Amino acid sequence: MLLLASLIELMIYIYALSLLFYFSDCVSRSVRSRRIGTGLLGVTGLLQFSVIGVRIVLENRVPMFSVYDFLFLFIFVLTLAGFGLALTQKAEFVVLLLGIVGFTASVLNEFWFSVGEHAEHIGYTQQLLLILHVALANLSLVALTIAAVFGILYLFLYAMLKKKKWNDTIRRLPSLEQTERWAHLAVLTGTPLLIVSLLVAFIMIVAQKRWEMLLDIKGITTFAALAVYGLYFVLKRTHKYSGFSIAKWTLVGYALVIVNLLSNAFSEYHKWNGG
Amino acid sequence: MHIMVVGLNYRTAPVDIRERFAIAQEDLSEALDRLKETKSVLEGVIVGTCNRTELYVVVDRLHMCAFYIRNFMEQWFGIPKAEFTQHLYIYEDERAVEHLMKVVCGLDSMVLGETQILGQVKQSFLTAQAEKATGTWFNMLFKQAVTLGKRAHSETSIGENAVSVSYAAIELGKRIFGMFTDKKVLILGAGKMSELTVKHLYASGAAQVIVANRTLEKARELAGRFNGLPCTLEEGVAMLGEVDIVISSTGSSDYVLTREQVKTLAAARRSRPLFMIDIAVPRNIDPTIAELPGVFLYDIDDLEGIVESNMELRRAEALKIERMIRQESDNFYGWLKTLGVRPVIRALQEKATDIHQETLESLFNKLPELDERQRKVIGRLMKSVANQMMHDPINRVKEMAADKNGAEAVDMFTQIFALESRLEQAEEAVTRESEKKTLDTPVFALRPAVL
């Protein structure tokens, strides 16, 4: 346990350090800072992977059923996505924003949630469904987070170009078209994953005959988020609305996803902490 | 020995003077030969571009050397000294080194931070090297300067920001579209400025250029240059729904494009962003169009504001590069100091070799029964002992020579190992060689063509 605690602590420090280097690069362009930041982000990902690996060995299962585990997995995938973007794209601001989301989630996860128990009492088929549901929800959350980051960048760049403000930051951001394309690609990936994840959850409700759960706050907020992303696709398809309006809907959808994530405390649907 | 640069550039000399100092590529080898033969000159590189002609030289003494170089210029270019002396600048030692580094990094260029000069200086150095006009000093200095130039451009953003109005428009367009490969450009009015901007857009891969003008003839002429489509102004405005970029520079005193026209065509645009550049004065595009969603309208003042902001950024980056230059200049002089210790090291190694040889001879005389193999083994072992003994002192004296009081340390080292007489002999040999070269070289080496 001491090993795990040390690994997590080290991961948070290195994550913070990586963000500091990225922040320094974004404030005052520095190739060296960016390279160090990218290297440290890679180390962070490696440490997160080690934590998951150590837990798999210690607990003899994949840790993914508690809120803590879900968030840890989400942060790991987000770090990998950020690292991948840092290596392949000139998108330091995107990496910084993803890093801020990941780091904040890491710290809050350590403060707010405990590792918790897992749902061992359910049957084998249901456990498989649960794994599928959690994994899909996790990947969908990562994709929608990336979409939200690109949405924020789009709104920022759009506003700056409209106001005719020109500085080094503007020059380093991806273009409006690229930002829109990436955001759309991320929503296009995240929404179907969320739908399938929700379908799997629905099958589990049917299997357990817990019909009342359909009206749970968790379910309602998920449907609301899906409705917003559906509206996003409709607006996008009509070609009548500017990228600015579309980007705003991406953020509204993501806000609902976050509300959904935070609504566990008021929800009977998920017995995340071992129920 | 000293480093000196003598030259003239766009700041010190007008173009009618500069053009007379141009050296054709085919004459450069001969010019380098002549420069090399000039009195006091030990190494030389000639950098010639449209904005500068500079002669970099390593000389054995500073006194009179500028005079010899001016004579060389007078003879080579066939221009009396009185006509160009006031346009010349002369920098010596550290200032000359820093000047070269500034030139290479584009800090001395007309367009601050331009990269072309880096390649030109590199080429000049390679030509001089091929002509054997460079030696130990310039081989090191120019390589170091070129590496610094590359670093300056890769580690700072000095060359990244547009400093002309037409490039600023392209840069802005890239923030909106990223690439222009599938973009359609509409030019309203066949003015010179819009032609320049569309030229850059076309070079960046714009898919189609539509030229709209009051007189169709002029539109045809400009469209022909970009494989474009000519049309009248009215037809051009009607095509607003299809295009992505509009550049306007008509001579009209009234708005050519009104808010209502653009708003009406918004449905046909299907939410695609529209980038509009109004270069005309008075303006051709109603400024309230900028309030419409998805429309980015920039006039000439906006573009000039971007250029100024970019210049500001380049100046800030130039300060960073100046710090890099100071560091690199220190590194070069540090290396030069270690260069001074080389004769001392050589003298020590020669002394060790002499002792080794003498001891071996004495030993073999005392032990004549040793066979050839035994002699070889003993010889190798003794050499190894001598080398190991010298390894640390040689490394230490190199380090000490690069320090602030390096000269004193080298003197002490010379005394400790009693190398004075060997160094004196070596110095006398070098002086004899130098005198021989000076006697062989006339004060004024005239160009055969002039003669």
Task: Kindly report the nearest CA distance between residue A158 and chain B, in angstroms.
Answer: 9
All residues of chain B having their beta carbon less than 8 Å from the beta carbon of residue A162 are 290, 296
Interface test with A, best of B160, B175, B274, B323 (most A CBs within 10 A): B175
CB atoms within 10 A of CB A22: 27
The length of chain A in residues reads 275
CB contact under 8 A, A168 and B155: no
Contacts of the segment B39-43: beta carbons below 8 A, 24+ positions apart: B39/B68, B39/B438, B39/B441, B39/B443, B40/B64, B40/B65, B40/B68, B41/B65, B41/B68, B41/B69, B42/B1, B42/B135, B42/B137, B43/B133, B43/B134, B43/B135, B43/B137, B43/B138
Taking the Cβ of residue B176 and every Cβ of chain A, the question of whether any pair is shorter than 8 Å is answered with yes
* Res. B444: pLDDT tops 60: no
The tens digit of pLDDT for each residue in B79-126 reads: 898 888 899 999 998 999 999 999 999 999 988 888 889 999 999 999
User: Strands B245-248 and B274-278, how do they pair?
Assistant: parallel
Q: Tell me whether B305 touches chain A (CB under 8 Å).
A: yes
Query: What is the three-class DSSP state of B265?
Result: coil
B50 is catalytic: yes
Residue of A nearest to B293 (CA): A242
CB contact under 8 A, A168 and B172: no
In the DSSP assignment, the letter for residue B2 is: E
Catalytic residue among B50, B65, B105, B231: B50
Q: Which residue has the tokens 């449907």?
A: A223
- The region of weakest confidence among A64-68, A140-144, B380-384, B430-434 is B430-434
Answer whether A31 sits within 8 Å of B267, measured CB to CB: no
Task: Tell me the residue type at B263.
Answer: K
pLDDT at A274: 38
CB B46 within 8 A of CB B125: no
Q: Contact, A161 vs B176, CB < 8 A?
A: yes
What DSSP state is assigned to residue B87?
G
> To the nearest whole angstrom, how far is the Cα of A47 from the nearest Cα of chain B?
30
Q: Which residues pair with A71 in a beta bridge?
A: none
Write down the pLDDT at residue A84.
93
B143 C-beta neighbours (distance < 10 Å), count = 14
Pick from B176, B273, B306: CB nearest A166: B306
The C-alpha atoms of residue A142 and residue B56 are separated, in whole angstroms, by 59
Q: Which chain A residue shows the shortest CA-CA distance from B175?
A: A175
Mean pLDDT value across chain B: 86
CB contacts, 8 Å: B161 with chain A: 171
Structure tokens at B202: 């076309």
Cα(B9)–Cα(B103) distance, integer angstroms: 11
Measure CB to CB from residue A175 to each of B176, B290, B298 and give the nearest one: B176
Residue B25 in contact with partner chain A when CB distance is under 8 A? no
> Percent of chain B having pLDDT more than 70?
96
B174–A175 CB contact, under 8 Å: yes
How close B314 comes to chain A (CA, Å)?
11
Q: Kind of pairing, strands B2-9 and B89-92?
A: antiparallel
Q: Are the beta carbons of A168 and B313 separated by less than 8 Å?
A: yes
Partner residue facing A240 (CB), from B177, B271, B309: B271
Predicted confidence band at B451 (pLDDT cuts at 50, 70, 90)?
A: very low
- Does A171 sit within 8 Å of B305, measured CB to CB? no
- Phi, psi (rounded to 5 degrees) for B377: -65, -45
Say if residues B112 and B158 touch (Cβ distance below 8 Å): yes
Mutate to test the interface with A, among B163, B165, B176, B271 (most CBs of A within 10 A): B271
pLDDT band at B197 (very low <50, low <70, confident <90, very high): confident
pTM: 0.70
Closest partner residue to B296 among A162, A166, A241, by Cβ? A162
Query: Mean pLDDT across the stretch B216-234?
Result: 88
pLDDT of residue A142: 93
Locate tokens 């962003």: which residue?
B273
Helix (H) or strand (E) holding B93, with range, is: helix B93-105
Closest CA to B72 of B93, B50, B53: B53
Tokens of A39: 């290297």
Which of the residue ranges A209-218, B212-221, B235-244 would you say has the lowest mean pLDDT? A209-218
pLDDT category of residue B47 using cuts at 50, 70 and 90 = very high
Does B154 touch chain A if contact means CB atoms closer than 8 Å? yes
Q: Which residues of A touch B (CB under 8 A)?
A: 29, 31-32, 157, 161-162, 164, 166-168, 170-171, 173-178, 239-246
Q: Which of A200-209, B57-66, B226-235 has the lowest mean pLDDT?
A: A200-209
Residue A178 Cα, gap to closest chain B Cα (Å): 7
**pLDDT given for residue A180 in this prediction:** 92
- Put simply, whether B242 touches A (Cβ < 8 Å) is no
Name the residue of chain A whose CA is nearest to B299's CA.
A164
Instruction: Please state, in angstroms and as integers, the Cα–Cα distance from residue B266 to each residue in A241, B182, B299, following that order.
Output: 10, 19, 21
Residues of A in contact with B175 (CB under 8 A): 157, 161, 170-171, 173, 175-176
Residue B441 in this model has a pLDDT that exceeds 80: no
- B308 interfacial to chain A (CB closer than 8 Å): no
Q: Do A243 and B178 touch (CB under 8 A)?
A: no
Spell out which residues of chain B touch residue A170, defining contact as CB-CB under 8 Å. 175
Is B270 close to A240, i.e. CB distance below 8 A? yes
Pairs of residues, one from chain A and one from chain B, whose beta carbons lie less than 8 Å apart: 61
Instruction: Report residue B309's pLDDT band, with 50, 70 and 90 as the boundaries.
Output: confident
Inspect the interface and report whether the beta carbons of B175 and A157 lie closer than 8 Å: yes
Q: Minimal Cα distance from A164: which residue of B? A: B302
B161–chain A Cβ distance below 8 A for any pair: yes
Query: What is the DSSP-derived secondary structure letter of residue A174?
Result: P
Residue B320, min C-alpha distance to chain A (Å):
11
CB-based contact A244 B293, cutoff 8 Å: yes
The pLDDT tens digits along chain A (275 residues) read: 788 888 999 999 999 999 999 998 888 778 889 999 999 999 999 999 999 999 888 888 878 778 788 889 999 999 999 999 999 887 889 999 999 999 999 988 888 877 765 555 556 666 777 888 888 989 999 999 999 999 999 999 999 999 998 888 888 899 999 999 999 999 999 999 999 888 888 887 877 777 777 778 888 888 899 999 999 998 888 877 788 888 999 999 999 999 888 887 677 665 544 33
In this complex, the residue of A161, A240, A245 whose CB is nearest that of residue B296 is A161
Q: Which of A168, A170, A239 sits opposite B175 (nearest CB)?
A: A170
A239 and B171 within 8 Å at the Cβ level: the answer is: no
- Contact yes or no for B45/B128 (Cβ under 8 A): yes
**pLDDT value at residue B436:** 61
For residue A113, the model assigns a pLDDT of 77
The answer to ipTM > 0.85 is no
| B394-398 average pLDDT score | 83
* % of chain B surpassing 90 pLDDT: 32
Query: Between A164, A167, A242, which is nearest B298 by CB?
Result: A164
The average pLDDT across B241-245 equals 90
- Cross-chain Cβ contact A171/B161 below 8 Å: yes
Predicted local distance difference test score (pLDDT) of residue A124: 63
Residue of A nearest to B311 (CA): A167
